[in-house]
Every structure is written in C-alpha cells, then in structure tokens.
Amino acid sequence: MKNDNGTVTITEVLNLNQAAEYVSLSKSAIYKKTSERNIPHFKQGKKLYFKRSELDEWLTHKRISTHAEIEQLASEYIRRKPWKGMR
C-alpha cells in the first residue's frame, strides 16, 4: 500500500481483495476456503479480514521435503530403531 508521501507501508490486517492478491488466489477461492474453515480469517459483520502473518504460516505449513531430507530422516530412524530379529 502506498501512503500519501508515496512510500510503501505493509499492513498486518488485509481485506479480502488484498488477501486474495497476497496469496495469489481468486476471491471466490478465498471465499470457499473461509466457508470450509481451511484458511485463517476474521469476520466483522459480513466483511472478511486476514492477518498477513497467519497467511504466511498457512502458505508454508504444508512444505514438501526434498529427497535429501527424507533420506536423512530415514537414516536417522534406522540408526535409532534397530530391526527386530537382526543379529
């Protein structure tokens, strides 16, 4: 958002249009996610609001691990859990 002197300010609370642009989804997709309670939001009357920090967390909470990370976890698991029946 630009203020009167032309500098950009970042607000923590976003309206529907701002949130849709921020997460790169259509307004209808945002409405659907709010009705399904799949995206964190607030309601004031009929208006929807979103906290930027909560949207950031929502966007990043389903991170997909790399092959290297999975292999590392598997190696750590095998070292900690010896197989039963192995000598």
Strands 13-15 and 47-51: antiparallel
Question: Number of structural domains, the chain?
Answer: 1
28: domain CATH number?
Answer: 1.10.1660
Residue 86 has pLDDT above 90, yes or no: no
At 85 the pLDDT is 60
For residue 3, being part of any structural domain is answered with: no
Higher-confidence residue of 43 and 80: namely 43
Estimate to the nearest angstrom the gap between the alpha carbon of 67 and the chain centroid.
22
> The domain containing residue 60 runs over which residues?
13-80
pLDDT digits (tens, 9 = 90+) for 30-76: 999 999 999 999 999 999 999 999 999 999 998 899 999 999 999 99
- 3-33 confidence digits (pLDDT tens): 666 665 678 999 999 999 999 999 999 999 9
